[in-house]
Structure 1
């Protein structure tokens, strides 16, 4: 019998995007915002002026402390280099030092504010539930080539937790797929259908896949806002590794309702569920030091804060009317699509007169981190380009001064690495000059002594100690706050284990820092040379990278470490000692990178109670539920999927897949799509499903899965060659 005769009646295009996949559309306009034109008339009037407070005193303290510390450091550094006169090379060293020192001085000043705000208080608090909510919120998770069971299981856990608390009527859930791998796309659809089956027919969990991931994540969110945004007062943005308790989600919705001038409210997502050594270092730092740093910036940023792209609630009206992103003039890497769109969205929303701020003490906001040093470097490459792009946005009309500060802060977070590298090179050059270049005995000016390039060694040692103290101070502040809170101290392994863990984290971070300096410097130089980055999915699972790849990535870092060590020893053993932290990190780049992604090293420390966070002793119920949900979806076959086989072998699934495709759009006459033509030709010649699987490329598979006519051709193919019956004579 023909396979088509066994299937349901032909697809009805008017039935596309039924509630089985998506709710009815509720469009809202999202105009592109101008960058060069702006007037005060464009600023919305405040709905609650009495509730708007600007923390002038905190800002004054932060900038005063930063200026004082920077000035003191600059004076001390000038005293180091002025012995024997300030040469051009010494001046360059002084200038680079002042720039880098100002950067760490500002972070130091901010951490003081955070320490004062938190000392003697718990860093995190479980939010109180409101009696009721009046608004509707869309929980939105953009996904891109992720493991379906993980992300769908996490959304299921959040939805079930909110339902348990009695607030499910106020929240809908959208999984917005920009996935380009055809097999992962089909796996997502299977996971969605499994999830809807588990949650029941009344569950308002929706799924949408875009045929073209135009404008990447920003375009994904924009597509949702312009098509469904009119039905919701707020949207809560997740990343694919985000997780939030029902308490935290409801508390954010309540905070947004209570503040009619709030545009974005950001939480502090803590890193959890990590087991490799590098990820556990980040997880420990996030939990112990993060609250003090976040509290500091929350206090002095006030309502002029920033947005980090996830685990934050956004007022739909504010986003639609103020956050439409233009493309930057010119070509990538500095022109074209805005990559780090979250900073820009926050700045444009603040420009409209909406508040953007952080509530860092809300407990129950989580994320995950990359599992190795190499994974962080790959992610940083894209972030680096996005932040350097912001240089073109510094002149945007109408921005709040702190919004420009956020741009500068992001830019310098990457420029700091090449500046540090240049500073080290200046120091080496001066040391070479002092030891190997003949002094100028006869200068134009009268002098009793030759012009030796000299330094004040005692001052240099004092300045080095002061710099280290200022760098480590935010970590010490966070450690004190963590230790003073009894439940956190006990759940983290006790006083001594936490102190030892902090020492391990500081030492490991110091060794990793020179490697990251070179990685980030390389990214900056590549981008300045005009090399744009791609958009690759992040590797989220624990696991190691092949050793050959590690050697290939870090061999030049090791070579540079050897050259630096030999050069320093030839100049002076004391110079080698002064540069030993940097040299040690570079020499150990390969074993450090290998250990960073090594699961056994991280688990060994965990068994010893080191680098332990309270959320590992008292595992959040939401994390347990998300893991269990993901495991059930995976066991039900939602991950390992061959898309062509899944669509061919299951007519019911094929029907559901077709229902989730957008309504048919007629192709303009004469506009030929080469991939579709090739896919149709290959399907016409294929005698079996195996032929189609072998012949169709990934792009052609994607075309087939988007095209109902090609899907019908696929469905007609037999699974295996038909056997011809023969009879014995």
Structure 2
């Protein structure tokens, strides 16, 4: 390591600026922002309302034949709520399909892309106990792609670490040093690790804005697993620079890099069905788009003026830090008059997906808490009604599962009522004929077919778009493989759906009962678990499946047939979890190009660059010096001190006090390392005077011992 690299500071000079906390009870006066999509918005919502009205009319006709009982009214209400959800998705997909077909036929060619933006952009990569090799590889791949367009000068790369594992933190420092050596002066790589993880990711970005944000005009916010092509990065910077009213531009990320069956399933659905849903959403959302927390560019001034998040009253899970901060930040930007735009036309924005159902459940538990927390934010003063609708859909995305489950329970209760409760043949009215409990069976069949059609509209239109375009058909391996993949996706999704329904029901129940999701790093590669753990994690799903089977078997074959899709998935929850998380089974599907995507069969340049760099960077970072030798290596010590910011006015913590006493009592640094807990060692690495004590102990162990015993 060169002395220049070892002494290079982690961050540019601090340029402090205020990021005022917003008052959600007091509206701000928004400046006029043109509404780009009133026509599309009214058309989509109007058509959805008509479809909902027709579905509700048909359901009422099914249930009202011969009178309506309280259970039937409950079923009608639950049906209307859940049908509204799928009706809006279906109509939005139709709008997206029409727009994308016009785009496909236009097939406009683009000229050479150049960076025209005059402002400087900080690319922010927040990370929390992530694999430093993967993060470093992604950064180098994006930098090298930008080099080919001569656009590196407009971007600084800032790795904002909230990592709490000491060994991983030192690997991050090694990764930053490696990137600086490999990229030289062609790019500016910065690194900062926070002393305290206040407010999680939103607090991480906010602290950067307060200390260093004033150096920049725009913030390109990524996740640790994000990967953007040079074309997307440059185009985002150009677009926000050209539009002075744009506060945020959000891309639509594609899922890539997964090997397990569940990851491939998500990738295929995201690639084929996702574009029409996202395009429809972007069309009716217009200037009131949404923010998904990453792969988006933000006007720094607007963000700092409008998006200082308050703490919500009360304790977690509904109080404290706003977890799903992105939806709220989009609403705050729009409240101040800034446009929030979904750039659905940009291709080349990528991220990874969880590798197993268990990992999906862990992620969704955290998202569920954050989205339900929006119930305390949705009534904030000054929010645009479309932003309130975004918040409502986020809440409903998790409440939908308990409602579907309630619909199943009411259906079972109606069947049990017909079996065990004696009907009232003659009511209070004078009539010569008995009042038989009846339902319109032919109409029920038509309604079932309508519901399934509405539910499958996004999938049908997504596949239709592919089959209608020869280039897209080839990109997915041809018509036969595309249809095979669609069939596999529908069958696997139907089997997994009842498991995820129960997972979301559990997440909602846990949140409502006061449980906090915590903050754990996400597994990115292998999602497999031992069978014992799988059966334990899915034990209640299996029990629910057994109970539904026994009830239906005892009632009638018709009820068993009606419940069979849910029963199948729940009874086989553990085996399905093992099947879909298996890397070997995923590779089998990959070898036969089933559930393949365009990015897999025709790998984009940025993904090829990433794959080519990954082995080299992983090998270099695997050779990092262990903690025991770190404190005695002068070059590593100089580098660490240069990369560690000095925090003034921080409170004296218990970990700091214990670490100080243990270091003073140790005869050498190895003994101190044995005594220090992980939290205490983390505090040592982030506290300059404690770190210098460890370095002195490593370089002069006897001096420390003599000073104590002399």
Smaller-chain TM-score bracket: over 0.9
> Which residue of structure 1 lines up, in the alignment, with residue 95 of structure 2?
113
Whether contact under 8 Å (2:646, 2:688) holds in the other structure is no
Among 577, 588, 598, the residue aligned to 1:593: 577
CA distance in 1, matches of 2:441, 2:497: 25
Asked if 1:320 corresponds to 2:301, the answer is no
Q: Aligned in 2, Cα 1:79/1:174: closer, same or farther, shift over 3 Å?
A: same
Native 8 Å contact 1:687 1:718 kept in 2: no
Which whole-Å CA distance do the structure 1 matches of 2:5 and 2:586 have between them? Answer: 48
Matched, 1:247 2:231: yes
Q: 1:490 to 1:532 in 2, by over 3 A?
A: same
Alignment of 1:710-725 (within 5 A): 710-717=690-697
- Are the aligned partners of 1:433 and 1:453 in contact in 2 as well (CA < 8 Å)? no
Q: 1:611 aligns with which of 595, 603, 608?
A: 595
Pair 1:654-2:626 in alignment = no
Equivalent residue in structure 1 for 2:78, among 89, 92, 96? 96
Q: 2:53 aligns with which of 71, 77, 81?
A: 71
Partner Cα distance (2:625, 2:427) in 1: 78
Query: Which residue of the other structure, out of 103, 113, 127, is the alignment partner of 1:143?
Result: 127
Q: 1:572 to 1:136 in 2, by over 3 A?
A: same
Q: Is the 8 A contact 1:262 1:356 kept in 2?
A: yes
Q: Which runs of 5+ in 1 are unaligned?
A: 1-7, 9-14, 47-51, 723-729
**1:608 shift after superposition:** 0.8
Matches within 5 A, 1:392-471: 392-441=376-425, 443-471=427-455
Q: Give structure 2 stretches of 5+ with no counterpart.
A: 703-710
2:19 maps to which of 22, 25, 30? 30
Deviations 1:590-614 (A, max 9, x none): 1111111111111101111111111
Structure-2 residue corresponding to 1:43? 30
Q: After superposing the two structures, state which structure 1 stretch, 108-117 or 160-169, moved more.
A: 160-169
Kept after mapping to 1: 8 A contact 2:684/2:691? yes
Q: Which residue of 1 aligns with 2:62?
A: 80
CA, structure 1 residues 444+55, in 2 after alignment: closer, same or farther (shift >3 Å)? same
Shift in CA distance, 551/206, structure 1 to aligned 2, threshold 3 Å: same
- Is the Cα–Cα contact under 8 Å of residues 187 and 641 in structure 1 kept in the other structure? no
The CA distance in 2 between the partners of 1:80 and 1:93, in whole Å, is 11
How far does the alpha carbon of each residue in 1:380-433 deviate from its partner, in whole angstroms, 9 at most, with x for none?
011111111111112111111100100111011011000000010000001000
The answer as to whether partners of 1:147 and 1:639 remain within 8 angstroms in 2 is no
Give the root-mean-square deviation of aligned CA atoms: 2.3
Residues 639, 76 of structure 1: alpha-carbon distance in 2 compared, 3 angstrom cutoff: farther
Q: 1:641 to 1:552 in 2, by over 3 A?
A: farther
Does residue 706 (structure 1) correspond to residue 686 (structure 2)? The answer is yes
1:60 corresponds in structure 2 to 42
> Structure 1 stretch 624-633 or stretch 351-360: which is displaced more?
624-633
TM superposition score normalised by structure 2: 0.94
1:560 aligns with 2:544: yes
Whether the aligned pair in 2 keeps the contact of 1:16 and 1:663 (CA below 8 Å) is: no
Deviation of 1:434 after TM superposition, in Å, equals 0.2
Q: Deviations over 1:636-693 (max 9, x none)?
A: 1358764x3252242211111112222264778xx6x432232233223333444233
How far apart, CA to CA, are the structure 2 residues paired with 1:679 and 1:227? 28
Q: Please, which moves more after superposition, 351-360 or 686-695?
A: 686-695
Contact kept, 8 Å, 1:554 with 1:589, in 2: the verdict is yes
Query: Which runs of structure 2 are paired with 1:288-307 in the superposition (5 Å)?
Result: 288-307=272-291
Q: In 2, are the aligned partners of 1:28 and 1:227 still within 8 Å (CA)?
A: yes
Which residue of the partner structure matches residue 478 of structure 2? 494
C-alpha contact (below 8 Å) 1:242/1:367 kept by paired residues: yes
Deviation at residue 202 of structure 1 after TM alignment = 5.3
2:707 is matched with none
Distance 1:450 1:590 in 2: 49
Within 5 Å, give how 1:572-591 maps onto structure 2: 572-591=556-575
Q: Alignment length, in residue pairs?
A: 698
CA distance in 2, matches of 1:302, 1:652: 53
Q: Please give the alpha-carbon distance, in whole angstroms, between the structure 1 residues aligned to 2:149 and 2:700.
A: 52
Instruction: Please give the alpha-carbon distance, in whole angstroms, between the structure 2 residues aligned to 1:152 and 1:563.
Output: 50
Pick one of 497, 518, 539 that aligns with 2:502.
518
Question: Any conservation in 1 of the 2:8–2:642 contact (CA below 8 Å)?
Answer: no
TM-score normalized by the length of structure 1: 0.92
Q: Is residue 235–residue 313 contact of structure 1 (8 Å, CA) maintained in 2?
A: yes
Q: Which residue of 2 aligns with 1:5?
A: none
SS in 1 for 2:621: coil
Deviation at 1:126, TM superposition (A): 8.6
Contact 2:128 2:161 in 1 (8 A): yes
Counterpart position of 2:646:
663
Instruction: Give the corresponding residue for 1:726.
Output: none
User: How many Å apart are 1:628 and its aligned residue?
Assistant: 3.3
TM-superposed CA distance for 1:714, in Å, is 2.5
Mapped contact 1:127–1:363 kept (Cα < 8 A): no
* Distance 1:122-1:667 versus aligned 2 partners, 3 A rule: closer
1:195 aligned onto 2:179: yes
Q: Could you tell which deviates more after superposition, 202-211 or 95-104? A: 202-211
Distance between the aligned counterparts of 2:234 and 2:123, measured in 1? 11
Moved more, 243-252 or 565-574: 565-574
The residue number in structure 1 matching 2:209 is 225
1:282 aligns with one of 266, 269, 273: 266
**Distance in 1 between the 2:110 and 2:679 partners?**
47
Distance 1:245 1:473 in 2: 31
1:637 partner SS: helix
Distance 1:719 1:131 in 2: 50
Question: How much does 1:450 deviate?
Answer: 4.8
Cα gap change, 1:585 to 1:83, in 2 (>3 Å):
same
